[in-house]
Structure 1
């Protein structure tokens, strides 16, 4: 009896050691790019580019992502004439948290504190995927802080079935730490390429996404912990948020890829646009990772939003050419 337990203990230590090593190597591959600011409950990492006196844009990444999801291909396009702030959401990338792990609404409060501390004058708030959910919460709770929301392939409704690429995050809370340290990183190392392909599909994964796009940071125990928490907390939080959409007071624009294989454009796009007064929706060719795979089209859409001239209205899912 003691021998098997000893073997199990040694194996567990070995796996935990490998996970810690892999996490350190990921952070060496994707070091912090910007600055840090303290807000209640978090130490946020952000990058601030572009003219300081230009109109501001704040960008929030999605599940298992970080701010380089935007800097890979998109943010520099906008920084010529806008102040662009990219944020590692609380607990992601190089941002850390103090105390309980924050859900969608709590994260929105932390991003609101960042906007206030940086003294940004009603920026356009851009949210991709789960970052779109955080943007929606901020727009509902602190509408005075933003000029509007631009949501790229957002999670905007309660979703009954977890998207297939993220099914491995469905760990019960008591088992989450053990899976994060003993299973998630070794398994992710072996399956990471296939998961990335599923998230990007039908678009190809850029060869430099692990580094320039920040993808390597998803292979850390802390990333698994954050992802598992968010994927389990999201349905209840999104149900509560969606019930408030009729009260929106800021403009909301939504962009989806016609071939998104992670989130349903009809549910999270058209349905949400129909529920939010004055919301607009457009779609282009592409999958879920539009800021990386279709940066030119995404920039063009964002510039139309900034100019107050999105193409589609009334919740109808139309095509942009």
Structure 2
């Protein structure tokens, strides 16, 4: 290859990369215009958290979304069903939605649990029920393991609770992101590909149900196409097993009420592995299964809201029983 040919090829590659990066930034700006920040911001160690606080001074629920999601996953259908009875805090996990982690970091499950604990303390919440969906369920478990005194109980919706040997088909694209250059890849190739394959990916995540047409805006789905969100989701996908390896042997130590809900047809996480196996080793854990897929907060909001109410009542009863036990000793 001649010097001129090599230089020409390099210039073309650079121009292509710049063009893709410009397009990716355009997609990100468009997504943020259509799905603006809904709430307030709170600085905690290692992150700046974006959260929505609704429902006034009532018994409190904190809700934590899953991989590639954001807080509108809950405000889509569940928030209005809960705020008549509860104060509801919806929070973006760091690197998702409008929450940001410290530069150059991607906090793992255990670190994120500590961040949610800081939010609970900073907002002076009185032992809320913590609700976690999918990977948010693992974050909720991490919080309950390390700081059980802060929570009334945890309600886990289609939660990640066990280590995964394989990546679900819907997240195979994230698994292909080069670990050494996640943000660069997301800024050049990842975001355009994500936009092109968005419908197919949603179909897999929501299966066997149909993703609603307004999920991109009302459910916050468009924000997952931003380069920063893609890089974060890829890092979380690769890093989850490391934290779960530390957490799983401690499940038998859990002393907070744990409720689990799974859709029997979940195509992302196996209900037997992540639901029944975990419930069998967590003291007093309750598990319910219903006909449905992975995105229960959006596809089956009435049933999922009933589950959350039941988990809150279970936590309240367990707390009263514990107080009674201590008073009689």
Shift of 1:309: 8.8
- Please tell me whether the aligned partners of residues 159 and 275 of structure 2 are also in contact (alpha carbons under 8 angstroms): yes
- Please tell me whether the aligned partners of residues 67 and 86 of structure 1 are also in contact (alpha carbons under 8 angstroms): yes
1:24 is the counterpart of 2:29: yes
Residues of 1 paired with 2:178 and 2:163: CA distance?
19
Structure 1 runs (4+) deviating above 4 angstroms are: none
1:33 is the counterpart of 2:38: yes
> CA deviation digits over 1:225-263, x for unaligned, max 9?
100110000112112111110100101000000100000
- TM-score, scaled relative to structure 1: 0.95
The residue that corresponds to 1:296 in the other structure is 302
Shift of 1:169: 1.0
Shift of 1:80: 0.4
Aligned residues: 309
The residue that corresponds to 1:314 in the other structure is none
The residue that corresponds to 1:316 in the other structure is none
- Please tell me whether the aligned partners of residues 51 and 80 of structure 1 are also in contact (alpha carbons under 8 angstroms): no
Structure with the higher fraction of residues in helix conformation: 2
> CA deviation digits over 1:74-112, x for unaligned, max 9?
111010010000000111100111142211100111110
Shift of 1:62: 0.2
Residues of 2 paired with 1:202 and 1:296: CA distance?
18
1:78 is the counterpart of 2:78: no
Q: Helix, strand or coil for the counterpart of 1:155?
A: coil
> CA deviation digits over 1:248-287, x for unaligned, max 9?
0101000000100000000000000001111110011110
- Please tell me whether the aligned partners of residues 19 and 185 of structure 1 are also in contact (alpha carbons under 8 angstroms): yes
Superposed CA RMSD: 1.1
Q: Helix, strand or coil for the counterpart of 1:228?
A: helix
**Worse-superposed segment, 83-92 or 297-306:** 297-306
1:262 is the counterpart of 2:264: no
Q: Which has the larger radius of gyration?
A: 2
Shift of 1:47: 0.3
Q: Which of residues 280, 283, 291 is equivalent to 1:285? A: 291
Residues of 2 paired with 1:178 and 1:131: CA distance?
26
Q: What pairs with 1:115-126 in structure 2 (closer than 5 Å)?
A: 115-126=120-131
Gaps of 5+ in 2: 1-5, 317-329
Q: What pairs with 1:165-176 in structure 2 (closer than 5 Å)?
A: 165-170=170-175, 171-176=177-182
- TM-score, scaled relative to structure 2: 0.92
Shift of 1:183: 0.9
